[in-house]
A and B are shown apart, each in its own frame.
Chain A
């Protein structure tokens, strides 16, 4: 390949992979021309508002709609009884369970959907909601998951009584959902028995919520004559919604059109299908008019898509030198009242098997038990692949606990146990197959950048002065890109993704994907991939996503799967086009394929200067001058089924200073090094990392949805729920190494969730490290000033003046 100045210049003009191309999405957004679900209006549109339960657990005695229906402007009030004849009062969840669309005889969590009011506008609907009179008989609420399997525990799901064959395993109790385990229990137990050192820690990964700035909503429009349902939905997976809606309603999938327009952030919250969507669709079908439902922030935080709520017990076995011999993890997972987790069907605990982390651990065993409680359903992947945040948290915490027990440095113990570069691809004890990595280089680069030794020295001095300074280190490995359809499916549909590229006669292109952007800049970055592959300038490539009538079937965007799966599909589709283009070029140049070489945006005849055909020439020829027997056109579709997951990794370091009199923790420094393989758009990557770190900071330092013993949710508005402003948010320092994935067509691994997954344990590690000299090994999140002060107070630190 030529590397002349001229060709470099041509390459730069393409704005392909590796350049920080400015975003194509921005011009619309900065002019206020975004098009989010609530921005869309249709003629004759009605508004839906949901009547919700004040109780966490109660029997519904009666529902009286009379007064509400009498209010002028109210068109309908629907309850479970109204949906029953259509068999739409329950719907399947992504996790193999069912969920009540509208409460059927019983409410099982606070603010559960009981009825839906359809009115002319949202003002009338809001008035009507409080006129629907619901009589309840309160039942005892089950809030503590540790009591879910007690013999006298109230049964939450009466619809499941006696059905002990769960979706994932035998159920051991009416409130039990599944047991899932992985690894060799026997060898692991043996390793613990034989170990020189063992450590154990209980940790609670609290209930949080992704809380995108746009809440969830749906505008459904059913055309009775055509029999077609069109719905604008805040969905990270519009095709999945289409399939589920078709299955539920019996409308042929070809007559269901789901459109994910602009989405105001998803972070996992917009993966599941919610009762609000279904009721809007049903109402539209019943009334024959467009119906819009948009939830309030309080409804969003209270009822749709929470994350985590895992009670984890971690254990490590090691020798006296700190070499890890075994990992054992037991988890109690609180799924709320319906199992509505967003996991691939066969993975009730998601990708938790990545919990051996970046370490060469010969023996491991993990077990997760899911249980029901009287809380809202969910268990979504909040800016992470399914349960990866939990997995990284437990192993990173445990490595620190082990280091403290052994009196070892927390960086040293990691360097000692890392999987070595030459061990890749590395099969872990729990069945992951790490594709590539260079963990030593990453960590050492970070330690050098922050002058780690100096920091530890400073910490020594501070401790001598009675000051609290903590240094947290995390070296995480993620598993993303779900996933290979041999194991990954959602409701039976394999987790491939797709791209369809059409090159127009004049050489520009249109591409459509099965994914959907929620701020990740797909319109910008997909074009870069095609630009590099096909030599068409990014500016001339139009990217479209989110409309199921036009885009090829895909599983959507979450769990950092767009780059590992969607971008791979895009590259492969482009390569199919390029292969055809080569044949056309050979035909035009009257040489054989083998005589050609690719140079940025054209095929050249090897060794014959001037003999070349640009992609523009080829595109034109594809419509009028083809080799004999070749079909016209220049397009390709690829459904990419990844052979493997990808495994991004990183090394993060955080320095905190704690005010021991108030508990206020100040992040002095946060250094994040990420390795996501090939970097498609460094600017976008850095933006994703800033965002992920900020979300991680929020989770670790303040976000929490808690419940009182009666099942009342606490802190479910932005008064309490912690979304940091620019003032609270620390300054981020970013860095990178590049270790391409060997099996991805571009070598790229995915990045958006790494900073969330990686930063959360880093904050905990830093806070705990501040107290490490006082034999503190773990503190549960969130590390609010209140919580941290309690530790200071317990240790008597706030007294010393």
Chain B
């Protein structure tokens, strides 16, 4: 099948890539662009391990075609930290033991990153609902909730400071 040229911004860099129309975005990211942070956990859009940020919303990249990302702005876990260091959600997950095997973590982080922009000062309940598209088998979520709370406070403080 003929390949299509697709261009998008990925972690602030312009990327051009040739893909088959049927190629799933997660495969393009992981296999063509070697950004293996985002993972494949279920392939039926239940687990959220493949969550990336696309044009300012969280999406599951296993259920989006790479061609659909044409012209979009993408961000993966690899783009979360900046020159200033780790993002607050990354720090939060480290400080509050929000990860164990690490497999769900990139998806969790990307969802948390976006969620805290949608809701900067969430309750525990809201965090749980906000992260309900991401499955974790190791932590039981309790420390993930704490991690997001940590990040929320940190981001709030930054805002105020």
B10-40 vs A, Cβ < 8 Å mask (1 yes, 0 no): 0000000000101100010011001111111
A contact residues around B43 at 8 Å (CB): 296-298
- Is there an interface contact between A32 and B35, defined as CB atoms closer than 8 Å? yes
- Is there an interface contact between A262 and B102, defined as CB atoms closer than 8 Å? yes
Total chain B interface residues with beta-carbon distance under 8 A: 58
- Is there an interface contact between B141 and A726, defined as CB atoms closer than 8 Å? yes
- Is there an interface contact between B49 and A213, defined as CB atoms closer than 8 Å? yes
- Is there an interface contact between A27 and B94, defined as CB atoms closer than 8 Å? yes
B142 at the interface (CB under 8 A from A): yes
Q: How many whole Å from A671's CB to the nearest CB in chain B? A: 14
Stretch at the interface among A36-44, A575-583, A637-645: A36-44
Residue with the greatest number of chain B CB neighbours at <10 A, chosen from A39, A264, A267: A264
- Is there an interface contact between B137 and A723, defined as CB atoms closer than 8 Å? yes
- Secondary structure at the B interface, as helix, strand, loop or mixed, is loop
Q: Known contacts A683-B97, A691-B138, A727-B132; is A297 also within 8 Å of B42 by CB?
A: yes
Cα(A267)–Cα(B137), bound, Å: 9
B103 at the interface (CB under 8 A from A): yes
Q: Known contacts A29-B105, A32-B36, A32-B106; is A729 also within 8 Å of B141 by CB?
A: yes
- Is there an interface contact between B143 and A22, defined as CB atoms closer than 8 Å? no
Cα(A495)–Cα(B69), bound, Å: 51
Cα(A213)–Cα(B46), bound, Å: 11
Stretch at the interface among A79-87, A517-525, A597-605: A517-525
Cα(A697)–Cα(B105), bound, Å: 21
Within 8 A of A (CB), among B125-152: 127-129, 131-145
Q: How many whole Å from A488's CB to the nearest CB in chain B? A: 26
Closest A residue to B147 by beta carbon equals A30
B101 at the interface (CB under 8 A from A): yes
- Is there an interface contact between B99 and A29, defined as CB atoms closer than 8 Å? yes
B41 at the interface (CB under 8 A from A): yes
- Is there an interface contact between A718 and B46, defined as CB atoms closer than 8 Å? yes
Q: How many whole Å from B123's CB to the nearest CB in chain A? A: 13
- Is there an interface contact between A213 and B36, defined as CB atoms closer than 8 Å? no
Residue with the greatest number of chain B CB neighbours at <10 A, chosen from A29, A263, A267: A29
Cα(A587)–Cα(B145), bound, Å: 54
- Is there an interface contact between A726 and B138, defined as CB atoms closer than 8 Å? no
A contact residues around B5 at 8 Å (CB): none
- Is there an interface contact between B41 and A729, defined as CB atoms closer than 8 Å? no
A25 at the interface (CB under 8 A from B): yes
Q: Known contacts A32-B106, A297-B42, A718-B42; is A731 also within 8 Å of B97 by CB?
A: no
Q: Known contacts A691-B139, A719-B46; is A519 also within 8 Å of B37 by CB?
A: no
Cα(A297)–Cα(B43), bound, Å: 7
Residue with the greatest number of chain A CB neighbours at <10 A, chosen from B38, B77, B136, B138: B138
A212 at the interface (CB under 8 A from B): yes
B contact residues around A727 at 8 Å (CB): 128-129, 132
Cα(A22)–Cα(B97), bound, Å: 7
- Is there an interface contact between B141 and A31, defined as CB atoms closer than 8 Å? no
Within 8 A of A (CB), among B76-119: 76-78, 80-81, 86, 90, 93-95, 97, 99-106, 109
Q: Known contacts A687-B100, A691-B140; is A31 also within 8 Å of B23 by CB?
A: no
Cα(A298)–Cα(B106), bound, Å: 22
B contact residues around A31 at 8 Å (CB): 37, 77-78, 80-81, 86, 90
Partner of B34, one of A22, A28, A41, A263: A41
- Is there an interface contact between A519 and B102, defined as CB atoms closer than 8 Å? yes
- Is there an interface contact between B97 and A264, defined as CB atoms closer than 8 Å? no
Cα(A23)–Cα(B44), bound, Å: 31
A contact residues around B81 at 8 Å (CB): 31
Q: Known contacts A31-B77, A718-B46, A723-B137; is A123 also within 8 Å of B39 by CB?
A: no
- Is there an interface contact between B101 and A32, defined as CB atoms closer than 8 Å? no
A211 at the interface (CB under 8 A from B): yes
Q: How many whole Å from A261's CB to the nearest CB in chain B? A: 11
- Is there an interface contact between B138 and A519, defined as CB atoms closer than 8 Å? yes
- Is there an interface contact between B138 and A265, defined as CB atoms closer than 8 Å? yes
A contact residues around B139 at 8 Å (CB): 687, 690-691, 694
Q: Known contacts A265-B101, A687-B139; is A726 also within 8 Å of B131 by CB?
A: yes
A381-394 vs B, Cβ < 8 Å mask (1 yes, 0 no): 00000000000000
Q: How many whole Å from B149's CB to the nearest CB in chain A? A: 13
- Is there an interface contact between A212 and B95, defined as CB atoms closer than 8 Å? no
Cα(A729)–Cα(B127), bound, Å: 13
B contact residues around A296 at 8 Å (CB): 43
Cα(A694)–Cα(B137), bound, Å: 8
Partner of B127, one of A23, A122, A726: A726
Q: Known contacts A31-B78, A519-B101, A717-B44; is A213 also within 8 Å of B93 by CB?
A: no
B contact residues around A297 at 8 Å (CB): 41-44, 47
- Is there an interface contact between A264 and B102, defined as CB atoms closer than 8 Å? yes
Q: Known contacts A32-B106, A33-B37; is A213 also within 8 Å of B129 by CB?
A: no
- Is there an interface contact between A718 and B44, defined as CB atoms closer than 8 Å? yes
- Is there an interface contact between A123 and B20, defined as CB atoms closer than 8 Å? yes
- Is there an interface contact between B102 and A34, defined as CB atoms closer than 8 Å? yes
18 A-B residue pairs with Cβ-Cβ distance under 8 Å, sorted by A, are A31-B78, A34-B36, A122-B27, A123-B22, A213-B136, A214-B41, A519-B101, A519-B102, A687-B97, A688-B100, A690-B140, A690-B142, A691-B100, A691-B140, A725-B131, A725-B133, A727-B129, A729-B141
Q: Which 4 A-B pairs have the closest CB atoms?
A: A32-B37, A264-B103, A519-B101, A29-B102
Other CB < 8 Å A-B pairs besides A691-B137, A691-B139, A729-B141, 11 of them?
A: A25-B102, A26-B102, A30-B86, A32-B37, A33-B37, A34-B102, A297-B41, A298-B43, A688-B100, A694-B141, A726-B127
